[in-house]
Structure 1
Amino acid sequence: MSNIHRIGDAPSAHSARNPGVPFDQAWVEAVRVNLSAVERRTSTLGARRSVKKDWQAAWLLRAVTCIDLTTLAGDDTPGRVERLCAKARQPIAPEMLAQLGVPHLTVGAVCVYHEMVETAVRALEGTDIPVAAVSTGFPAGLSPLSTRLAEIEASVAAGAREIDIVISRRHVLTGDWQALYDEVRAYREACGPAHVKTILATGELGSIEKVGKASMVCMMAGADFIKTSTGMEGVNATLPVGLVMCRQIRDYQERTGQKIGFKPAGGIAQAKVALNWLALMKEELGDDWLKPDLFRFGASRLLGDIERQLEHFLTGRYSATHRHALG
């Protein structure tokens, strides 16, 4: 199990901030996407990158360290959030970790609404697990700008170290890239020391080329992460949009030297799907994007399936799903 031993504790959850660059309309307009090539590239990913046995267990443990463990329900209670934070502290049963030869690991972050930020911060005291708050009128982003900015500031004051903002889709749909840049720049300023993750809601942007352009504008404006979805659109994280966003991250790094994080979110509930995303990161961006400072899963159900797969690896048997509840 030497491959598993390489996991260890999760690295620091935060890399250097992205200062952004001045808005460049020509750079945005130069973004082009060949949809058929993108679909062909991603359709073969699972067949080309197949990890088995102890390698698979190691990759799944790494996936755990990259999860933003999330609860965004209207019936959230302090008790539910506290249980989720307890799971974030100990996502895999200690006896399983002992068998795998891994001393300890945690998830990448806990993601909640503003109302539950203080509860999560208290529950995670003594750890380095950051609290992420969804903000700016999540999920639609249609509240007044002053309200959206105040919401960011309130969550940072309550202890959130990451803010997941939603962009105004209308700016993308109408091609008003300067307005999108100005909006995200204002969000970044309101975040202060907290990292900003920009949610594109890719399923609502009209075309995959607009996904590429919006990704670039958000990074130019200072986004530390770009994120596919709120998880509440009709279409959420897909490998084709993930590939397009990763290519923009690579282009931005080549031009500025700045590494930007990536977060697929919505509908990622199976371990085998998580492995495909990790393979995409490794192939397109490299090993640095296999760690939580540059890669996260936005997920609420993924952890349970990963636990089931790890138990199968250790015992040869699948356990019942209810044995791996999150809260």
Structure 2
Amino acid sequence: MHPDRESAWQAPADAKEQPRQVRRILRLFRPYRGRLAVVGLLVGAASLVSVATPFLLKEILDVAIPEGRTGLLSLLALGMILGAVLTSVFGVLQTLISTTVGQRVMHDLRTAVYGRLQRMSLAFFTRTRTGEVQSRIANDIGGMQATVTSTATSLVSNLTSVVATIVAMVVLDWRLTVVSLLLLPVFVWISRRVGRERRKITTQRQKQMAAMAATVTESLSVSGILLGRTMGRSDSLTRAFADESEGLVDLEVRSNMAGRWRMAVITIVMAAMPAGHYWAARLAHQHGGPGVSHGTNVAVVSR
């Protein structure tokens, strides 16, 4: 490694380098392919079980209750209960395995970063503040914990559930499915906008946390305290730290509020969609189209 090629911590790569970084992240999971395959099977099984629920509900509302078939009603109700039990069991096992894999990946990543730092030249450490190096190991890698332990699994689970749900809705009634999917592109666009905004704020927040850690390490060490008191800089150092902390407060608020209004709009629309389903079903019936049963309506809305 050439010293002239080493530099202080760099900002995240631009969009052109993101695919390369995604491949690097995927390589971290390569030693745990077997466990990840089990997680995938559990996710698929849970999705299949959950898809059966609206069909059971449709049969209860359209057949078992109107026709007074108590035996069929009992079987369908037991089927719904069994589906809930299986979904919960699969979810617990999935969480256990994915969390274990995520923590092992975090361990591998922390060890690799520490080993890499041990091999860096002295020139790197003269250009990089000690507290910043510590912050990168503690805060940056720690910030990835939720991603490698839960977010990735949730992404796969949600994607599988969406596909299975769309298939089930099409089987139940394709017209109501079209009504449900009309706003999907808008929701995807809003979510991507919010994601990009939060990514920028998170980058700024991590830099601010690194700066604060560097200030604390340098000013609160024995040599830093002696130097600060000797030169009478205690008050100025306190004010500088307060300014950095104030900046972090602003970034934390922006991070938590980023996209909140947009997501609130999505929540309102999702809450209003059942009424849209019922209205569309009634409108289709009034214009001479084939009617939609109450069971189908409720089953589609429940998805």
* TM-score clears 0.5: no
TM-score (norm 2): 0.20
TM-score (norm 1): 0.19
Greater share of residues in strand: 1
| Structure label with greater radius of gyration | 2
Greater share of residues in helix: 2
Q: Which has the higher contact order (CA 8 A, sep 6+)?
A: 2
